[in-house]
Structure 1
């Protein structure tokens, strides 16, 4: 064939032919490597390269796909991507069109997570009939978390806003690392042994699957399932899911959500009580009106049927007086009951107890505040806070010598 008759391709035609050949040759491939030159454009698309010791390749991940990644990659991150191999015609470069991305090593962890989840589901640990009901009005709330966790501050703030009258007990533990599962189990068993709380909040802030891996521990799952105390799980962000979430009696999307699910709002309780009282008064009023109408009808019938209407009118008048008296007595009883319920609710306010001359001693050990209940907890090493009706003061205890 002469050079004159040979087909001459344009650069664009050649590049398109190469792109078509690559797309037909390769299906979706998994590739691992280190991200470099990462850029996130205003369009929402990601452009970067994957590299290792032997080479590198350009990558693009479009907005519709990268919204499901769950983290923002950075240059230097080790990742695994599922991608289609292609050829970018305008630039003449081979590139990967990434469909999904995960941190390197997450594949094995996720497979272990799915395997344990299937095993525990088969054993019935996730069944709804095994879930313990969360008390609507807990007397004491327990929190299992790290004292240094940011989630603890959010939970305490939420509980103070919603239900300041409910005491709180903190059971400190590690929530990340190889020793965390044993620590969490120990904290749950300590709460079970003390039997001082009505509900437990198991909380931790968000993180990667490695950070939250302590909550995927098998023995921890059995401990949660066997706990006699109802447990609300609030681990990570809304998109984070752990084995502890499936086993717990109630799963909250965040630590703050766990506090909201466990603690009733005090003002809402008062509103509900007032609504019940109003409904009761309305029902009683309606009943009285119906009975009064019935009484009028009977009076009309008596006027026409009985030979002595004057005597019957006197009886009717007496019945009306008795009815009015009974109604007044009943209303007074309702008012007295309402006052009693209001006083009982007010008695639950810890401030009232302090105003009667009592005080509470708070220990500051281990960077946490808790009420001292046992005299053996008092010592001369630490400072304590004495909280009174009109403020608080820090005190220290000293040993007294024997008097001669």
Structure 2
């Protein structure tokens, strides 16, 4: 009778050692790993980490996505969404649970779409469709705005509300098109083409291409190559407002301006009406001040001219005084000379009669010789005085106020005889006298302007 060979005893593991061994085996066998499944049990505590499970019809696995990786997500994970997760499979030794540490998470199918997006982006960028040099600036005051979006989209309401608030005076031309689905790229191209044709016959300075947010599949119509090339040949600047701020499409790169949202696209295209009205008010104030300054300067020059015309008598009196002084000086000079000569003759007669007679004879000869010259000198002096007097009289005549009155002007005086030079110096009902070229007229002030 043979004896049974005892089975070898299994190795006895500590719990921690067994968990580490399983973790090493899983890491060497599977990692890195990509898993597709449905989200369930999503939670995001204040630490910023993301915890969830992936499941399908036959299994479920716990997942953890730490804060750094979770912060790079371009969507908010929700229970029931189909996703693809890339990461490393391991064992959480504290509980002995199998766990997937996720490093990248996308919606199911998004990976292939993203690769397609990157290929088209690189192709168009190499052709120069994204170059900054071809981007055009928007007009501050557009004459017309083209709008391409779906008539039933919330983006249409947002854009219309913003434009109605900021620039209700600017006409908006809507070119309707689907913004999601297989037919959307073709409809978007046809809508843009219709606006391009309209821009040749009516003012159209900017086109808004807008759509609300969504998943990459929802926005895929705006990653179409034909749409991108149609945008590139737009005759007017295009503003792309597709999705949310974190969403990027090929249309965003081709457009002249990218807006983070449809509302922001409308705000970029139309400056607020209040800003234009403020500038107009400021310009009006500057013009008003300039005109008033010109009027003040002209009024000052007019006052100065009127004051000079109002004092001709003073200048005439000054010239007459100068003429009188000159005439008196001439008479005094002649009289003094004759008296001096006579005194000398009388003094000589009392001393030496002969010498006096001889001196008298000599003086008489001198006097006879000088008399014509003195007379001529006096005549010339009188002529010069008369000439100066004639010139002064001519200037006085030119300054005669009656000459001004003969040209249709009048001199206004109050009852005391004072000249009225300013409208502010009279009151309604006051009596005035208007001196004309041929007489005076009594006036009464009816009203002051």
SS in 2 for 1:176: coil
Counterparts of 1:90-169 in structure 2, within 5 Å, are 90-169=94-173
Counterparts of 1:191-270 in structure 2, within 5 Å, are 191-195=195-199, 196=202, 197-270=204-277
Residue in 1 aligned with 2:382? none
- TM-score relative to the length of structure 2: 0.58
User: 1-side partners of 2:292 and 2:115: how far apart?
Assistant: 65
User: 2-side partners of 1:283 and 1:99: how far apart?
Assistant: 69
Cα displacement (A) at 1:199: 0.9
* Higher percent of residues as helix: 2
Which has the higher Rg, Structure 1 or Structure 2? 2
User: 1-side partners of 2:45 and 2:38: how far apart?
Assistant: 20
Counterparts of 1:252-401 in structure 2, within 5 Å, are 252-275=259-282
User: 1-side partners of 2:25 and 2:285: how far apart?
Assistant: 78
Runs of at least 5 residues in structure 2 that lack an aligned partner in the other structure: 1-9, 294-449
Residue in 1 aligned with 2:53? 49
User: 2-side partners of 1:124 and 1:278: how far apart?
Assistant: 48
User: 1-side partners of 2:237 and 2:252: how far apart?
Assistant: 13
Which deviates more from structure 2 when the two are superposed, residues 225-234 or residues 43-52? 43-52
Q: 2:32 aligns with which of 28, 32, 36?
A: 28
SS in 1 for 2:232: helix
SS in 2 for 1:272: helix
- TM-score relative to the length of structure 1: 0.64
SS in 1 for 2:74: coil
Residue in 1 aligned with 2:315? none
Whether 2:70 is the aligned partner of 1:66: answer yes
- RMSD of equivalent CA atoms: 3.1
User: 1-side partners of 2:216 and 2:147: how far apart?
Assistant: 22
User: 2-side partners of 1:202 and 1:271: how far apart?
Assistant: 30
Cα displacement (A) at 1:27: 4.0
Runs of at least 5 residues in structure 1 that lack an aligned partner in the other structure: 1-5, 287-404
Cα displacement (A) at 1:127: 1.2
Residue in 2 aligned with 1:373? none
Cα displacement (A) at 1:229: 2.0
Change (3 A) 1:52 1:269: same
Deviation sequence 1:353-377 (CA, Å, 0-9, x none):
xxxxxxxxxxxxxxxxxxxxxxxxx
Change (3 A) 1:24 1:284: farther
Cα displacement (A) at 1:245: 0.6
Cα displacement (A) at 1:13: 3.9
Greater relative contact order structure (CA < 8 Å, 6+ sep): 1
Change (3 A) 1:283 1:88: farther
